[in-house]
Amino acid sequence: MTNYQNYINGEWKSSEKEITISSPIDGEVLGTIPAMTQEEVDVAMEKARKALPAWRALSAVERASYLHRVADILERDQEKIGEILAKEVAKGIKAAIGEVVRTADLIRYAAEEGIRIHGQVMEGGGFEAASKKKLAMVRREPMGVVLAIAPFNYPVNLSASKIAPALIGGNVVLFKPPTQGSISGLLLAQAFAESGLPAGVFNTITGRGSEIGDYIIEHKEVNFINFTGSTPIGERIGKLAGMRPIMLELGGKDAALVLEDADLEHAAKQIVGGAYSYSGQRCTAIKRVLVMESVADKLASLIQAEVEKLTVGHPFDNADITPVIDHHSADFIWGLIEDAKAKGATALTPLKREGNLIWPALFDHVTLDMDLAWEEPFGPVLPIIRITSEEEGIAICNQSEFGLQSSVFTNDFPKAFEIAEKLEVGTVHINNKTQRGPDNFPFLGVKGSGAGVQGIRYSIEAMTQVKSIVFDIK
């Protein structure tokens, strides 16, 4: 069994206490990770702070060269990392390897984008005559020490999407992977270590969020917190962060709004792909269908037919539906299914569970008194809610505490744009499933779904701050 270590100031370190990581697939023990103490966290923070001046003094091109090396290493090790990732978070092996490759691409893009972020020179003169002689040199500087915290569902990709833009912007990084996902996160760290980054520029912190989370968030050395995870933890971070800038990418309840004139076959395929991939454990999964009553029977049966094609089983067989992350999560999902059933929703699929493996569940005639209409299941269950007008659909979408994304299915483009304007979400996809990528696009949630904008260039901008130097030209 491997005892994985943390990477701190250019060295691999263990801690006295360890956490055993087992696979959600079959309980296989995958290794141990350190449960860092507060004193060990202090050392990591201090070393990061010490590394900052030399790192920020490098040119962006020099910093980019390290990132290109990391990307090459990930590409080289895609199968090794993908295999562990698949076991650690029960993700289909093809998708797990795909996550590593997507991460290499994202890192390369961040390196390239970072070298093209330029300052600007501004002239006064738009105001009183005397301001004409004033010139401002506006440049971007790093924030300093960035704390990057990632969720279990993309332990490599949603870690690198914070780390790479932070580093190219001249920041130093402390990376806390999700506990279930830490081994994958530490394999990502190995790529950063092998790239030859100067000591202290990139460091890892492992341990349970419930034990060390508050401590690292409140740590005086941290200048910027970049977090992806659940809304309750994000809200807590928001409170504890004080005046420090943060980026929060949180939960969602993305709706697919299907109008009468939509291509229903196409919509059904997109909806099922969007709702059930990685067993629904994606922030951007379609988590409710709002369909016009007149086409609801047809759409429901088309979705049902697509769901029946999904395979259930083992990630290494590339099954569509695999065990969810843990029993606690499975209990929560099952509770939503039972509530919907008890309140009269029509199950269009057999309702079946074995441990943390839940068969894809589809409900029609879901009503607004059911928890499934509002809660984020983070599992393979999809409610269909019937609506009688577009206005009703928009109102139900906007009634959600979340505001990540929405899909609109219609062939009437002006109408799609009109609806998109009214939806309180960060992104609207027209005739397509909700999704984060491409990774250079802005990605954000409003309301309970987050604060700040991700996406490679947006992330670099968020983790750098403007400094203006003003002088008179005569």
Residues that bind ligand G3H (CB under 6 A): 153-154, 282-284, 435-437
Q: Minimum distance between the CB of residue 191 and ligand NAP, rounded to whole angstroms?
A: 19
CB of 201 to ligand G3H, least distance (A): 26
Q: Which stretch binds ligand NAP (CB under 6 A): 110-118, 126-134, 135-143, 230-238?
A: 230-238
Nearest to 430 by CA among 233, 259, 279: 259
Please name the residue ranges forming H helices in 32-150.
38-57, 60-76, 78-89, 93-114
The site partner of 330 among ligand NAP, ligand G3H, none (C-beta below 5 to 8 Å per kind) is none
Cα 207 from Cα 217, distance rounded (Å): 13
**CB of residue 185 to ligand NAP, shortest distance in Å:** 9
**Is 379 an interacting residue with respect to ligand NAP (CB under 6 A)?**
no
- Which segments within 355-418 are labelled E, that is strand? 357-358, 361-364, 381-387, 402-403, 405-409
Angle at 249 between CA 167 and CA 395, to 5 degrees: 150
Q: DSSP secondary-structure letter at 345?
A: P
* Three-state secondary structure readout of 9-32: CCEEECCCCEEEEECCCCCCEEEE
Does the footprint of ligand NAP cover residue 283 (CB under 6 A)? yes
217 contributes a contact to ligand NAP by CB under 6 A: yes
- Chain-centroid distance of CA 327 in Å reads 22
Angle (CA) 148 154 157, round 5°: 65
Q: Which position among 99, 113, 249, 390 bears the catalytic label?
A: 249
Q: Which of ligand NAP, ligand G3H, none does residue 230 bind (CB under 5 to 8 Å by kind)?
A: ligand NAP
Among residues 192 and 443, whose Cβ is nearest to ligand NAP?
443
For the chain, give the number of residues. Answer: 474
Active-site annotation holds for 461: no
Q: Does 151 bind ligand NAP (CB under 6 A)?
A: yes
By a kind-dependent CB cut-off of 5 to 8 A, residue 241 interacts, out of ligand NAP, ligand G3H, none, with: none
Interaction partner, residue 450 (ligand NAP, ligand G3H, none; CB < 5-8 Å by kind): ligand NAP
Q: Where are the beta strands (DSSP E) in 179-309?
A: 202-204, 224-228, 246-249, 254-258, 286-292
* Under rule CB under 6 A, residue 146 binds ligand NAP: no
Interface contacts to ligand NAP, rule CB under 6 A: 149-153, 158, 176, 178-179, 208-210, 213-214, 217, 228-230, 233, 236-237, 249-252, 283, 376, 378, 404, 445, 450
Where in the sequence numbering do the catalytic residues fall? 249
